[in-house]
Amino acid sequence: MAEVINERQLHRHRTRAGLNIGDGSTIDLLRYVAWLVLIRHAPAPEPEGDPYEVLKERARARNLALSQAGRDIGELPAVVNPERKARAADDFRFFCEAYFPTAFYLPWSPDHFKVIAKIERAVRSGGLFAHAMPRGSGKSTLTTAAAVWAMLFGWSPFVSLIAASADRARSLLDNIKTWFETNQLLLDDFPEAIFPIRKLGRITNRQQGQT
C-alpha cells in the first residue's frame, strides 16, 4: 500500500486537533477520520469587514482580471513577406498595387504618375501641392492610400486627412478602418500596426494598457 500521510502531516494534525482525536500518546482512528471529514467540509470563514464592500472588491478583482486578459494580445505574428514590405517603403505606386489590388486595378495614366511622384516627395520630404483630376479618377482613394502609407512606414508622426465636409471626412476615415480591419495583406506585412488594431474588436477602451 502507498503512503497516504507522512509523519510531519500527522504531527500538524495532532497539534491542531488536540484531544479531539486521541490522548497525548495514541490516536483514535475513528475520531481522527471524523475530524478530517469535519475539517474538509467546514464552511469557509467569513471575510472581515463590510460584506457589501467585500463583494464589491471581489467583483472589482474579477473584472480587472477579465479586462487584463482582454488586453493581452500575445506575441505579434512574423512579417509574411519582408521583401514586399521593404520595396513598398520606397515605392508608393508599388504599395498601392501590392496591398490594395481591388482598389487600384485599372492602368495608371501619365497624370497618375505625376501625382504619385509628388505624393512621395511630400510624404517623405515635406511640402505642399494641389492636384486636380477628373471625377472618378481615384483622387480620394489615392490620397487615402497615401495617408496609410505614411502611417505604416512612419514617414510622419502625425497624419491629417482633410476632406471638404465632416461627412466626407468620416467616410474617408471609415475606409481606413475597413482596410485595417479586413485587409489580409496589410496584416501579413504590418503586424506591428494591424494586429493590435484587430485585437481591439472596435472597442477603443482596450487600447489602454494593451500588451
Between the alpha carbon of residue 54 and those of residues 48, 65, 66, the distances in Å are 8, 17, 18
Considering the domain architecture, whether residues 123 and 29 belong to the same structural domain is answered as no
Distance of CA 182 to the CA centre of its chain: 15
Residues 103, 170, single domain; the answer is yes
For 24-37, give the DSSP string.
SS-B-HHHHHHHHH
Domain holding 201, by residue range, is 82-207
49: in domain: no
Q: What is the pLDDT of residues 190-205, one digit of tens each?
A: 999 998 888 877 656 6
Specify the pLDDT at position 92: 96
Counted domains in the chain: 2
Q: Look at residue 126 in the predicted model and tell me its pLDDT.
A: 82
Residue type, 195: F
Does 136 fall in a domain?
yes
Residues 99 and 153 both lie in one domain:
yes
At 18, list the grid cell: 488536540
Torsional sign, CA 179, 180, 181, 186: positive
Residues 11, 108, single domain; the answer is no
Residues, the chain: 211
pLDDT at res. 113:
92
- Predicted TM-score (pTM) of this structure: 0.62
Q: Which burial class, exposed, middle or buried, applies to 112 when counting CB atoms under 10 A from its CB (0-12, 13-18, 19+)?
A: buried
Q: Could you read off the pLDDT of 119-140 as tens digits, one per residue? A: 999 888 887 777 777 777 778 8
Are 199 and 119 in the same domain? Answer: yes
CB atoms under 10 Å from CB of 182, counted, come to: 10
89, 192: one domain: yes
Domain match, 23 and 107 both: no
The pLDDT assigned to 64 comes to: 60
Same domain for 20 and 109: no
Which phi and psi angles does 22 have, rounded to 5°? 160, -170
23 inside domain: yes
Using DSSP, state whether 22 is helix, strand or coil: strand
Low-confidence ranges of the chain (pLDDT < 50): none
Q: Is residue 153 part of a domain?
A: yes
Q: Say whether both 187 and 105 belong to one domain.
A: yes
Please report whether residue 61 resides in a domain: no
The pLDDT, as a whole number, for residue 194 is 92
Whether 66 is covered by a domain: the verdict is no
The whole-number pLDDT of residue 29 equals 78
Residue 47: the pLDDT is 59
Say if residue 98 is in the same domain as residue 162: yes
For 28, residues 6+ apart whose C-beta sits below 8 A from its C-beta are: 21, 22
Contact 169, 162 (CB under 8 A): yes
